[in-house]
Amino acid sequence: MTAETPTLVRIAPSILSADFAALGQEVRAIEAAGADWVHIDVMDGHFVPNLTIGPAVVKALRPHSTLPFDVHLMISPVDGFLDAFAAAGADIITVHPEAGPHIHRSVQHIKSLGKQAGVSLNPATPAKMLDYLIDEIDLVLVMSVNPGFGGQSFITSQLRKIEAVRKMIDKSGRDIRLEVDGGIDANTAPQAIAAGADVLVAGTATFKGGPDAYAGNIRRLRGA
């Protein structure tokens, strides 16, 4: 993985909220504005009720940024696409336990491709789902909205889950990132951080106002 900004809390703008007619420029703009990762939401219209992008778009974007590509696969079945997204330039590949059929096998395969492996927990998916995965993974993504669409409101019950996952990570003694995605803005970011998050996915809050506003938007999130 490429070098990252040495900050306590990483900001990973979700390009789901970017201008899709100018994705290359948008990725360059958020890197220049101080983003730490590029978060790429991949949806299949089956596992979640929306359809976004595939490996070809990730490959096309890769030359536009040196930042880690944080690819969140909301697709099912997921295993058949892991190789393609790895080859396209993903650095972190995150999958859902429900996208199976075998989450442990999926994690093992991601690691075999030389990529960091993440597991994403939907709002109704308990932290306990990680009991037999915590020693294998590099990232936990807590969804603070139901996956599928940007611009949703933060589900406050997920704060308890973030706290529970943070305890699991600390107990493991491993270097595992705790990422939160959904409804993150200047008001909810401090709550997520206080609960234990160290990576914030922010789409609307990053991209509002156009490229001239991106640096200020990211500073406000990081300042939380």
Q: Which residues are annotated as a binding site for substrate?
A: 14, 72, 148-151, 181-183, 203-204
Residue of 41, 70, 138, 185 marked catalytic: 41
d(CA 50, CA 43): 6
Which parts are annotated binding residues for a divalent metal cation?
39, 41, 72, 181
Nearest-CA neighbor of 201 among 13, 28, 16?
13
41 among known catalytic residues: yes
By the 10 Å C-beta count (0-12 exposed, 13-18 middle, 19+ buried), 6 is classed as exposed
d(CA 197, CA 163): 8
Which parts are annotated binding residues?
14, 39, 41, 72, 148-151, 181-183, 203-204
Residue of 44, 91, 138, 181 marked catalytic: 181
Helix (H, G, I), strand (E, B) or coil at 134: coil
181 among known catalytic residues: yes
As annotated, the active-site residues are: 41, 181
